[in-house]
Amino acid sequence: MTKRNDEKLTKPPNGDAAIARAATLKPIREIGERLGVPWEAMAPYGHTKAKIDLDYIASLADRPDGKLILVTGLTPTPPGEGKTTTTVGLTDALSAAGENVAACLREPSLGPCFGMKGGAAGGGHAQVVPMDDLNLHFTGDMHAIGMAHNLLAAMIDNHINWRNELNLDPRRVSWRRVMDMNERALRDIVIGLGTGNGMPREDGFDITVASEIMAILCLATDMADLQARLARIVVAETRDRQPVTAADLEADGAMAVLLKDAIRPNLVQTLENTPVFVHGGPFANIAHGCNSVIATRAALKLADYVVTEAGFGADLGAEKFFDIKCRMSGLKPAAAVIVATARALKVHGGNAVQHLEEEDVEAVRKGCDNLRRHIRNIRSYGVPAIVAINRFPSDTDAELDAIAEEMRTEGVETSLCTHFADGGAGAADLARTVTEVAARDEADFKPIYPDDMELLDKIRTVAQKIYGAADVDAGHAIRARLKNLEKAGYGHFPVCIAKTQYSFTTDPNLRGAPSGHTIPVREVRLSAGAGFIVVICGEIMTMPGLPRRPAAADIRMHADGHIEGLF
């Protein structure tokens, strides 16, 4: 062990980690007070994190809302586009320009930090801090969600074990268990073995962020709404195929109590001491991939500008932000920033990933088809779009000029950003564009489909209008399931489509802007508590595994308290 550690000490420190460690954090009390939050309404977690009381947030109801800016992206590519860094950079730039601004981000999951290296919220000079805490237990929200989830699971098997008065069918329990860990070996398990340990049945663990409770926490408007949503969760069917809910098992009250602190938004800061709410982090495939409604609403009462982020590319992330989060909560975005890079455009234009460092203006121009589709999609929601080009050192002037020219023909404003290297100063132009667009007050947000459309038509609408597909392919069993859900009273729910984030199609290798394809629906799941219908169109992984050499093997604590290898 000594040898191993000595070897590690000679390694140069990681760039992001070194920058984060060099940051001067302000006491969280000051960050909150800058937004006008009194100290009594903050529950500190250490000196640089705090939770904000819900009663205080409720007391702000009569205040006007600030302007909500969504940061989204083109279709993601292997090198990454920098959506989170752009969110942080834009927030810092607005702050530097004298605006009262806050960002709203998702909480990172702990488990994956021990798999592939690179937990984090942002990077370079556009980071949220304290980074170690964000990547570890933070304020415990993830653990609370896991406990609430697993309490419900325990009460299901306990009910079956005793007298099963609800006549619950052990073969039809859909509520699995969760752990915030990359745990391949727990994906498919058999539980209840041995004498006196209940009824043996197949089960499995998902990673905690995939829990419906995470989606519920992020969509709930207050504690009462949270408990009501928890009560509605459907966990199993009876032998007569009737749904069994968390309320039937009388689990909802205890689950709500377990979440009493997790429901309060967390306040932290950027490297430049701008306030950031980091709260909730549902999956962006089987869930809607946005931070909590409570945090976003609180931020809008406290700040004039709120910059938030949605998962994956705009076809999945922004679509769900608009059609699920904004629809349910009444949020009205003022503008959306689409983050793109020359490298990503090259990939969408047919360039191989290994040649990204070489100039290829033609590929960049061709790749703009992908960006163009996302811009038009955003506009179809009545939301003005802005393109942020996140500049990389290898980008050439010819490439950047080509993007600007392509975007001019689309009539969209673009800003070149260097926040990764320069912090907020690198996003000053983007901040100017955002405030100008927002000041025009052009946004007239409406979801892409109405609540009362049939479920299959909702899926088709998203597939055609957003993905550019010709149609959806839903077999008899899927159609019957959708009809049954409508009969059971869930027809007004929005749909939450789970498909690959790497293409407008269901084939991750089809980049660019393919159209005329078919979206096959493989499976439909009810998230009755979250309030949406999950439509699965491809392979969805809800429990990651560790790689051959997990990042955990290189993580350690130095004697001076600094953590090596975490991000």
Stretch that binds a second copy, among 58-66, 152-160, 469-477, 527-535 (CB under 8 A): 152-160
The reply on whether position 339 binds a second copy by CB under 8 A is no
Smaller CB separation from a second copy, 113 or 456: 113
The crossing angle, in degrees rounded to 10, of helices 83-96 and 428-439 is: 80
In whole angstroms, give the CA distance from residue 109 to residue 142. Answer: 7
Question: For a second copy, what does the binding mask look like between residues 280 and 319, x meaning CB under 8 A?
Answer: ----------------------------------------
- Judged by CB under 8 A, the residue of 96, 97, 254, 470 near a second copy is 254
In whole angstroms, give the CA distance from residue 230 to residue 110. Answer: 24
Whether the CA torsion 156, 161, 165, 169 is positive or negative: it is: positive
Please state the length of the chain.
567
Question: For a second copy, what does the binding mask look like between residues 459 and 498, x meaning CB under 8 A?
Answer: ----------------------------------------
Q: Is 84 within any annotated ligand binding site? A: yes
- Judged by CB under 8 A, the residue of 104, 219, 223, 347 near a second copy is 223
> In the range 61-120, which residues lie near a second copy by CB under 8 A?
110, 114
Smaller CB separation from a second copy, 191 or 425: 191
Q: Is 78 within any annotated ligand binding site? A: yes
The reply on whether position 563 binds a second copy by CB under 8 A is yes
H-state helical runs in 440-485: 455-461, 476-485
Q: Are 144 and 160 within 8 A, CB to CB? A: no
Q: Is 80 within any annotated ligand binding site? A: yes
The reply on whether position 350 binds a second copy by CB under 8 A is no
Q: Is 212 within any annotated ligand binding site? A: no
Stretch that binds a second copy, among 177-185, 275-283, 344-352, 435-443 (CB under 8 A): 177-185
* Residue of 107, 455, 150 lying closest to 311 (CA atoms): 107
In whole angstroms, give the CA distance from residue 94 to residue 364. Answer: 29
> In the range 121-150, which residues lie near a second copy by CB under 8 A?
136-137, 140, 143-144, 146-147, 150
- Judged by CB under 8 A, the residue of 250, 441, 454, 539 near a second copy is 250
Q: Are 287 and 328 within 8 A, CB to CB? A: no
* Residue of 76, 159, 67, 47 lying closest to 341 (CA atoms): 76
The reply on whether position 193 binds a second copy by CB under 8 A is yes
- Judged by CB under 8 A, the residue of 196, 393, 411, 516 near a second copy is 196
CB of 247 to a second copy, least distance (A): 5
- Judged by CB under 8 A, the residue of 13, 38, 161, 440 near a second copy is 161
The reply on whether position 197 binds a second copy by CB under 8 A is yes
Could you check whether the bond before residue 130 is cis, i.e. omega within 30 degrees of 0? yes
- Judged by CB under 8 A, the residue of 23, 189, 421, 425 near a second copy is 189
Smaller CB separation from a second copy, 225 or 457: 225
Which uninterrupted H or E stretch holds 346?
helix 342-348
- Judged by CB under 8 A, the residue of 80, 118, 192, 508 near a second copy is 192
In whole angstroms, give the CA distance from residue 173 to residue 168. Answer: 8
Name the token pair of 417.
Answer: 């950003």
Residue type, 374: H
Name the token pair of 222.
Answer: 């207050």
In whole angstroms, give the CA distance from residue 173 to residue 245. Answer: 11
Smaller CB separation from a second copy, 164 or 515: 164
In whole angstroms, give the CA distance from residue 552 to residue 565. Answer: 8
In whole angstroms, give the CA distance from residue 88 to residue 379. Answer: 24
Q: Is 81 within any annotated ligand binding site? A: yes
In whole angstroms, give the CA distance from residue 410 to residue 302. Answer: 35
β-strand partners of 525? 534
Q: How does strand 243-245 pair with strand 177-179? A: unpaired
Question: For a second copy, what does the binding mask look like between residues 7 and 46, x meaning CB under 8 A?
Answer: ------------------------------------xxxx
Stretch that binds a second copy, among 257-265, 276-284, 299-307, 480-488 (CB under 8 A): 257-265
CB of 210 to a second copy, least distance (A): 16
Residue numbers belonging to the annotated binding site for ATP: 77-84
Residue numbers belonging to the annotated binding site: 77-84
